[in-house]
Structure 1
Amino acid sequence: MSAQTLAEKMISKNHMGINIASVTIGVGILTFPRSLAKATGAFDGWISVVISGLCACLIGWLLAKLAARFPRKTFFEYSSIIASKPIAYILTFLVCIYTMLFVSFEIRAIGNIAKQYLFYNTPVEMITLSFLLIVQYSVVGSRIAMLRLNLLFLPVVLVVMFIVLLFTTQLFEIENIRPFFSSDWRSLLAGSKDVGLSYSGFEIILFYTMLMKNPQEGTRAVTLGLSIPFLLYMTIYMFVIGVFSADVATNLTYPTIELAKEVEIPGGFFERVESIFFTIWIMTIFNTCAMWLDITVLNLSSMFFNVHKTVWVLILSPVIYFVAMLPQNLVDFFTFADSVTYFGIAVVYLCPILLLIIAILRGVKSNE
């Protein structure tokens, strides 16, 4: 393979940052204002967003440092170097379980929300299955091409979100955000925990650093990738509280979509802006699901390299769909989301950080 061809298959620091931003802006952006308003009970939830964002940046920086020590190597390969192959097999299998669960959560969320706001008479099972089939098609293709879709989709999503916020400015009421700084530190920490799911996604740096032109820039990519959702979450929360108030926001299942429903474009050109917003937002969820499923396949292929990627996709998809259909109602669905978050904290946050500490103490680093 020529150097030019290899360079074309690599991604830059900015591209990785956009990938991280795209995978982070998922289902959590629609629900976090409700859980945050419930935890803090006030406008002060923005402080929880800051705390959670800083923690995410710190953890992401550590994960990027780990992956950068072993450029061009998969998670399984550098885990084997640090902690032996048996432990690497266990850790990689746990990562695969986590990523599969995350895909199940995302496609079920698509089914629930699409049925509620777009396809009233379509069974949620069919909506979820249709979306999963599209994700399958994306994953079996080129990995770099799939990642480059974020360069096309993310700007569109951000522009639509900016338009929604712009036209809700006139509905913003100062009284809804008063009093300031009325929450105690326990409430703020609880809010930070609740908003943690919304920052999930930056851990893809563990698996895609090997595709970067300069793996040492992974830490900058994480900072760039998290800064976009950080600013977006801050703005959305402020507008949700300013328009609805904290008391009302706690009773809204999807406050961000409800915010889009309040938009009235002059001239009545668009009657239902929330449908347009949701349709555009599906682009981000599509990329998120595709990347998580691709990471699952990538990790399995690194352990069992004789199995073709398409075979793994066909094997995993029925399992993902079955798990996605397990929650019977919204309470079960949000409980499932919390369980996935806690499992992910242990598997893709704590374990890799422990691997980094071991690698530093032992002086282990790739020869490349």
Structure 2
Amino acid sequence: MLPPTEEKLATIHIASFISSSLLGAGLLSLPRNVGEKVGTPDGWVSVLITGLLFMLIVYVMGKLCAFYPGETIYQYSEKIVGKGLGWIFNLFITFYFLIQAGILVRLMSEVTKMYLLFDTPIQITIGLFLMVVIYLVFGGIYPIASLFLFILPITMVILIIVLFLSLKTFDIKQLRPVLGLGIMPIFKGIIPSTPVYAGIEVILIISASMKDVQRAGRASVAGLIIPILVYTMVMVVVVGSLSIAGISHYLWPTLDMIRSFEIRGLIFQRFETLFLAIWLLQIFVTIVIVFYGVVLGLSQTFGKKINGFIFGMLPVVYVLSLIPKNVNEVMKWSDFVNTLSLILYGITFLLLLLTIVIRKKSRRNIYLESSEMEKMMNEDVSLR
């Protein structure tokens, strides 16, 4: 069951939920991942097109949620495909969230160690970070949504400031010629762009707490607009500053671009620490929601209280985060999670189709029963 809450989520909560869930790890690695595949300065077009495709996907998810107000995907999946297949799907999505949580925690600790806490073991960083995560998860969905709504404007203000100041190293010639090698390189960048939009599936969980679930699709699309604009801007600014050839030499191109300049006379002469601060906030909120997805899924699938699963899954996420030996292995795991997300989107589309078919069949049966009843009543009247 959902943790008890007296307040329901408004449309703005849902939009901020979607935006906050997506503005995480992709801020650092997106330019390199897409740029290497595209091979031209047109990677920003790939990111933009992928974002528009995900608008359609998240709208489909919202329409599915609208058929089952007050319920999460873990509850209505069994109504659609039966208890057996419903359990399998529930465990699949729970596994997806679990692996994602482990990877994000490890990524957070690696970046923190590389740029902030050089001598602190990642085991300590991971442990302390997870303690903060479960503290917020215990509060339930409304406190989580309220925190996301508070953090998102701060993140956007700092991101806009940092990207604007990065124009000091920006050269528009690095983005030319547009479509110099045609449109085919753009399609090569679509798959590498998809990981940054992984996170839209949270609508399948949080819609159960909405005041008006009929607006789930539109609220999700609205929330997706901010990440699309941010990631497109990041691609443009980073490639324009480091060049398409230069970004392949950096593990985290966005961060290295910010480190490449300083502005004297301001409170902050270098901005990587400020950027890392808001990035850590965003990675934190992403981990919170995926961890919440894990424990909620187990709770609703097995019909047990959520608190036990919160404590039980904490060491599991901790161990999973330590399995990758280095950053390269973390990236390989990320590719695996991306594959799982694409499978999840396909299954969600099938669930919507099945729901529509079931609803039409149900309405048809009701109509036939009503017609049969009316016919019997007419015959009875005629006999009298």
Question: Would you say the 8 A contact 2:34–2:189 is kept in 1?
Answer: yes
Q: Deviations along 1:275-326, whole A, 9 cap, x unmatched?
A: 11101221111111111111111111112233x3221011111111111111
**Structure 2 stretches of 5 or more lacking a match?**
364-384
Matches within 5 A, 1:300-319: 300-306=298-304, 308-319=305-316
Question: Would you say the 8 A contact 1:105–1:324 is kept in 2?
Answer: yes
Aligned partners of 2:173, 2:48: CA distance in 1, in Å? 23
Counterpart AA for 2:347? C
Decide which of 49, 52, 56 is 1:51's aligned counterpart.
49
Deviates more, 1:332-341 or 1:119-128: 119-128
Q: Deviations along 1:15-55, whole A, 9 cap, x unmatched?
A: 10111000011101210110111111222111101221111
Q: Alignment partner of 2:144: what SS?
A: helix
Question: Would you say the 8 A contact 1:40–1:183 is kept in 2?
Answer: no
Give 1:268 deviation, angstroms.
4.8
Q: Alignment partner of 2:139: what SS?
A: coil
When the two chains are superposed, the root-mean-square deviation of aligned CA atoms in Å is 1.8
Q: Corresponding residue for 2:359?
A: 363
Decide which of 348, 361, 375 is 1:352's aligned counterpart.
348
**Structure 1 stretches of 5 or more lacking a match?**
none
Aligned partners of 1:15, 1:260: CA distance in 2, in Å? 31
Deviates more, 1:127-136 or 1:25-34: 127-136
Paired positions, count: 360
Aligned partners of 1:134, 1:94: CA distance in 2, in Å? 26
Aligned partners of 1:269, 1:366: CA distance in 2, in Å? 65
The 1:366/1:340 distance shift into structure 2, 3 A limit, reads farther
Question: Would you say the 8 A contact 2:31–2:253 is kept in 1?
Answer: yes
Q: Corresponding residue for 2:11?
A: 13
Which protein has the larger Cα radius of gyration, Structure 1 or Structure 2? 2
Deviates more, 1:234-243 or 1:178-187: 178-187
TM-score by length of 2: 0.90
The 1:250/1:365 distance shift into structure 2, 3 A limit, reads farther
Tell me, yes or no, if structure 1 residue 24 matches structure 2 residue 18.
no
Aligned partners of 2:127, 2:334: CA distance in 1, in Å? 19
Matches within 5 A, 1:148-297: 148-297=146-295
Give 1:60 deviation, angstroms.
0.6
Aligned partners of 1:260, 1:111: CA distance in 2, in Å? 20
Aligned partners of 1:365, 1:318: CA distance in 2, in Å? 46
TM-score by length of 1: 0.94
Q: Corresponding residue for 1:75?
A: 73
Deviates more, 1:111-120 or 1:37-46: 37-46
Q: Corresponding residue for 2:374?
A: none
Give 1:265 deviation, angstroms.
2.9
Provide the identity percentage: 30
Q: Alignment partner of 2:333: what SS?
A: helix
Counterpart AA for 2:46? S
Question: Would you say the 8 A contact 1:80–1:88 is kept in 2?
Answer: yes
